[in-house]
Structure 1
Amino acid sequence: MNVKRMSPARDNQRSALRTPAPHVARLRSASPPSVPPLSARERVKTATDFVSAALMLVPALPAILACIALVRLTSPGPALYTQSRVGRGGRVFTLYKVRTMHHDCERLTGPQWSTPGDARVTPVGRVMRKLHLDELPQLFNVMKGEMSLVGPRPERPEIVKKLREAVVGYDRRHAVKPGITGFAQIHLPPDSCIRSVRNKVAYDRFYIRSRSLGMELFILGATALKVIGLKHLYYRAPRVPTE
């Protein structure tokens, strides 16, 4: 079937994603789930990801340091920050990013998705987000074996708790390591509502069923084209078969 892009309905978005502090505490204190061992294919991909991430860090490190300096000069608070995300098998890990929002901006609201024109994003952060420079520190997550270069994007535990209840089959995207980029990310805009998540999950599950070396290389190439504003060179509405 054709997966149609849904219009981003934002009604009740903020209330749907808020999680009271006690729930957050229970999520973080829970024992990590048992994760099945990697298959031979996945071990090869992990090794390839490690080497690729190490090589990419050579040119990426100066860019990361420049972003850190810009954030420190233009916005109070730490330049790098960590965030809990849900990875393979539902295990929570710590993700690294360059800060693009005002420090501690979710203190009163709790975890929320970013929206177009989000006032929490700093002017420098807006540029870094457009160029995806804030994601570069996740190369360290790849080298640690927590992420892959390509895979479903990891979400925060507080939001995953809500999405598991609202989206059928949501946890199936946790069958593989999350990625810095993915099949859903090169075709669809960021999550903005439950309907957009259902669409993303369809793409993620299609990737998990169909992944191959050719598909991984296509996603990496398409990501590079998207970053430099040439998405039209690869974009087409993909056909995602029913299960």
Structure 2
Amino acid sequence: MVRQNQTVFAQLYAVTDFIAIQAVFAISYWLKFQSGWIPFEPSLSFKRYMLWAIVYGIVAVATGFLVGFYTSKRRKNYAFEFYKVIQVNVIGLFVLLSILFVYKEVDVSRSFLLLFIINNILALSFYRYLLKATQRGIRRKGYNKQFVLILGAGTLGKRFYNSVIHHQELGFEVLGFLDDHKTEHDAEDGNYKPILGTIDDLEDLLKVHMIDEVIIALPLDAHNKFGQIINVCERDGVKTLIIPDFFDFLPSKPFFDNFAGIPLINVRDIPLDEVRNRLLKRAFDIVFSLAVLIVISPLLLLIAVAVKLDSKGPIIYKQERVGLNRRNFHMFKFRSMRTDFNHVSETGWTVKDDPRLTGLGKLLRKTSLDELPQFFNVLRGDMSVVGPRPERPFYVEQFREDIPKYMVKHHIRPGITGWAQMNGLRGDTSIEERIKHDIFYIENWTFLFDLKIILKTFVNGFVNKNAY
């Protein structure tokens, strides 16, 4: 029943989105041409504009189907929905502009289209947020459920069951377990749904109960049963999902590749391995860094003069760091230490009341102003605006042996700011926690995630209580 409803819901979403687009188009027309708030006379009639509204609505809905906007999003959070709203509208706008160009429709106001797109993104985002919040409320009350059967009552199956219980807003309900070696849970295990039988009872259970998904949580030594299980499920039209017994070694979003017809599990799928994502991030880095350097150029000059007057030595300090693909580069910083101590700094942590720091250097470090020259590193291609913070070669060699997955951070360019830093992991803090946050960022990168980190950097300020 739920499987059949997914198609109906997708069609319903498409129809309501189309209606919403027409409404927003009409409201935007009123704001632009009839409200009197913007003194502008339309060169085309309202009917003519609404014709293009219909065209845009069709284009937007078709784009939505192509980019997966109308697929089941039961397991997706609202950030995914918001991203898709922006993606659909940006693509739809470019398609509409192309159509207008082909039909030589030069009288359609471009400023009106910009107003409409902004209003449409805001309206659809708000509407989808309300819809998702309503769905979660309905599911918490027991409606719109998707019923799940877990094969395997061991550690793997129970771990999945606990995840379902902790995320009841997603609307999944476990009917029970099937297991060949247990008839009931151990008393100390806690409160779990019952074991309904063995794996051989699966076919009979599918006929008696309305089950939407079967989760295979069996150990690797039971892989010979997988084929039979999948055949039984597919014969009854039930989805089958497999939790690999080695899933602890996989990323949060495993990616399946293919080589000559052989499926491969990519243990470390990185969104920035895709050319389009790399180009987008690099283009943003260049534009953003140039803009920042132009704006802060008076501040850079002021700090440079202050560093020169404060103590003897160069204004800019170049320190070797390990960057993309484990290649070394020289990272730029305003010098904050006395020159007669620089020979120690390559292998020595900066500590509180460090005698190597100059009077101005303490202020620069505390406010992170010493990091500003790194925007030149971004322009050179050594760094990105957002990414894991780079470390010195001496410590990289040390950490790679002591901290699991430490070297994963070098799969992308290091950054001036990063997800770990925005969670308070700067200066004298846990390296293990930093790496966990860095890997989360690497595996879950999106352009919007970068913007979120940059915005959070400005909102939280640049003062670092852990920096010495």
Higher relative contact order (CA 8 A, sep 6+): 1
- 1:73 shift after superposition: 0.7
Structure 2: distance between partners of 1:175 and 1:137: 23
Encode CA deviations 1:123-142: one digit per residue, 9 max, x unaligned: 21111122221111111111
The equivalences for 1:136-155 within 5 A come to 136-155=372-391
Work out whether residues 332 and 377 of structure 2, in 8 Å CA contact, stay in contact via their aligned partners in 1.
Answer: yes
Structure 2: distance between partners of 1:209 and 1:102: 40
Out of 70, 73, 96, the position equivalent to 2:332 is 96
Deviates more, 1:101-110 or 1:214-223: 101-110
Map of 1:201 onto structure 2: 435
Q: Is 1:218 the counterpart of 2:452 in the alignment?
A: yes
Secondary structure in 2 aligned to 1:84? strand
Structure 1: distance between partners of 2:308 and 2:455: 32
- 1:159 shift after superposition: 1.3
Map of 1:41 onto structure 2: 277
Q: Which runs of 4+ in 1 moved over 4 A?
A: 228-231
Structure 1: distance between partners of 2:354 and 2:326: 29
Secondary structure in 1 aligned to 2:341? coil
Equivalent AA in structure 2 for residue 198 of structure 1:
E
Structure 1: distance between partners of 2:350 and 2:322: 18
- 1:110 shift after superposition: 4.5
Structure 2: distance between partners of 1:229 and 1:136: 13
Equivalent AA in structure 1 for residue 442 of structure 2:
I
Map of 2:318 onto structure 1: 82
Out of 352, 363, 371, the position equivalent to 1:116 is 352
Secondary structure in 2 aligned to 1:94? strand
Equivalent AA in structure 2 for residue 213 of structure 1:
F
- 1:188 shift after superposition: 2.4
Q: Percent identity?
A: 37
Map of 1:59 onto structure 2: 295
Structure 1: distance between partners of 2:275 and 2:341: 40
Structure 1 gap segments, 5+ residues each:
1-35, 232-243
In structure 2, the CA distance between the partners of 1:110 and 1:211, relative to structure 1 (3 Å rule), is closer
More helix by share: 2
Out of 301, 304, 308, the position equivalent to 1:72 is 308
TM-score (normalised: structure 2):
0.39
Structure 1: distance between partners of 2:377 and 2:408: 21
In structure 2, the CA distance between the partners of 1:62 and 1:219, relative to structure 1 (3 Å rule), is same
TM-score (normalised: structure 1):
0.73
The equivalences for 1:187-198 within 5 A come to 187-192=423-428, 196-198=430-432
Work out whether residues 409 and 435 of structure 2, in 8 Å CA contact, stay in contact via their aligned partners in 1.
Answer: yes
Map of 1:17 onto structure 2: none
Structure 2 gap segments, 5+ residues each:
1-271
Encode CA deviations 1:93-112: one digit per residue, 9 max, x unaligned: 11111011222424257522
Aligned residues: 194
Work out whether residues 191 and 197 of structure 1, in 8 Å CA contact, stay in contact via their aligned partners in 2.
Answer: no
